[in-house]
Amino acid sequence: LGHGDVVIAAITSCTNTSNPSVLIGAGLLARNANRRGLKQKPWVKTSLAPGSQVVAEYLEKSGLQKELDQIGFNLVGFGCTTCIGNSGPLPAPISKTINDKGLIAAAVLSGNRNFEGRVSPDVQANYLASPPLVVAHALAGTVTKDLTTEPLGEGSDGKPVYLKDIWPTSAEIQEFIEKNVTRELFARKYADVFKGDAYWQKVKAPEGQTYAWDDHSTYVQNPPYFAGMGRAFGKVGDIKGARVLGLFGDKITTDHISPAGSIKAASPAGKYLTEHGVGVADFNQYGTRRGNHEVMMRGTFANIRIRNHMLGENGREGGYTIHYPSKEEMSIYDAAMEYKKDGVPLVIFAGVEYGNGSSRDWAAKGTNLLGVRAVIAQSFERIHRSNLVGMGVIPFVFEEGTSWASLNLKGDELVEIDGLDAIKPRQKMVAKVTYGDGTVKNLPIICRIDTLDELDYFKNGGILQYVLRDLAA
């Protein structure tokens, strides 16, 4: 195993698995590869998770599922799989080799997302491709080959086989579609789509107008957003004596902030699940636990690739910080809980395009639940900025040309922002920063609450509280 070798090749359920041309195309490419005697490379973990049962039926009907099976693309289910981190563990010897040798292994998948640390904790290089190219890379076994000029492998006759030799024609794909993808198939499969299978039908659910919370559930818990909430909102308190939870670089994605991938046993979320009687094999992943704030807040900033520069430019990756004044290195969650216990508010500093990627609400919810009052960045991704306001966290930007790095922030500073009760959209404000050596600087910052409606949400503590008060009025 070497750098760039493909250890995961997945036709996963997002987006283009509802497109018959690329699914039929993948099946025909597999058929042509089988005829030439090509085999998937033994280190590649393959899977097929179509977007619907219709896809499974037309692949079966056309005879192409057995061709995909032969290369290892067996049907694993319907729903979010590799794209959201449900790829499952790699075989132990492969995982060990990757980690022992520090290899940059690759995944090729047909889903939407390829954020760092999301597809698999063992895979650093994730590439998005069409289903036929996913099959092709399972055969090639590496992303370092130029598939337009280099062979995928040797056929049963010992001769090299190129991608162009097995690529199906558009006419052949269309012929298969016209024959196998029919209106009758869709009508039949969707006639009782809400009925569910036998497992779904066995699920017992309580009846009533409101949800019956189960205190013992590790999947769904009653979140504390409305705890202690009155009918009217109160005065917004200023930020006094705030500590820095993180110094983050440029283009921190919502997947860095709130990962969707696997849950490590030694992480705060893993420890919580273990303490509640969940075995490691049943952890599932963050995306499936999003109904439980106890898991999700522990997973906030827990991406295995996120780097907090408080630990140094090349410091430890994976959601750690330094707690002050103890100067102890600990997980971001544990530090946040220490600060919360002591009544210390928190701020985060970041670079450009903070919060880009998918518009994940938990990236803002988790930030709120950790006790972060403000995020000060060079710039924000549009939707995440809005989501922060919606959760009662104030986004600020530095003045042009300024960054936390240019200000020589280390993370041991105290931060104070006054005048929040009278704040206005886009208002110029000042963050008073007291450095570790006692030096004080007044940093000009701009409030990125952009509209009067957003100001209403913020003053209510968030959009959820705003809506509830509006309904109760």
Pick from 119-123, 387-391, 444-448: least confident: 119-123
Q: Are 249 and 257 within 8 A, CB to CB?
A: no
Beta carbons of 328 and 322 less than 8 angstroms apart:
yes
Q: Where do the H-state alpha helices sit in 117-228?
A: 131-140, 163-166, 170-180, 183-190, 198-202
CB 467 within 8 A of CB 451: no
Give the whole-angstrom CA distance, residue 206 versus residue 217: 14
- Show the tokens assigned to 383: 């939707």
Q: For 232-246, what is each residue's pLDDT tens digit?
A: 998 999 999 999 999
Residue 113 pLDDT: 77
3-state secondary structure of 101: helix
State residue 262's pLDDT score: 81
Residue 373: what pLDDT? 98
Q: Is 239-472 the same fold as 6-191?
A: no
The continuous run of DSSP H or E covering 96 comes out as helix 92-101
**For position 19, what pLDDT does the model report?**
86
Strand-pairing partners, residue 395, are 375
pLDDT(248) > 90: yes
Residue 185 has pLDDT above 80, yes or no: yes
Poorest-pLDDT segment among 258-262, 294-298, 370-374, 390-394:
258-262
pTM exceeding the 0.85 threshold for the entire prediction:
no
Residues 172 and 18: their CA atoms lie apart, in Å, by: 19
| Chain center to CA of 323 | 26
pLDDT at 323: 97
User: Model confidence at 388, in pLDDT bands (50, 70, 90)?
Assistant: very high
- Express each pLDDT in 86-133 by its tens digit: 778 889 999 999 999 999 999 999 988 777 677 888 888 999 999 999
CATH topology of domain 6-191: Aconitase; domain 3 (3.30.499)
Q: How far is CA 317 from the centre of its chain?
A: 17
Residue-range domain boundaries for the chain: 6-191, 239-472
**Mean pLDDT calculated for residue range 16-38:** 92
Task: Check residue 353 and report its DSSP letter.
Answer: T
Model confidence at 43: pLDDT above 80 = yes
Q: What is residue 419's predicted lDDT score, i.e. its pLDDT?
A: 95
d(CA 223, CA 244) in angstroms, rounded, equals 25
pLDDT for 473: 83
Write out pLDDT tens, residues 140-176: 999 999 999 999 999 999 999 999 999 999 999 999 9
Are 143 and 137 in contact by the 8 Å Cβ rule? The answer is yes
Element (H, E) at 36: helix 20-36
CATH superfamily of 239-472: Aconitase, domain 4 (3.20.19.10)
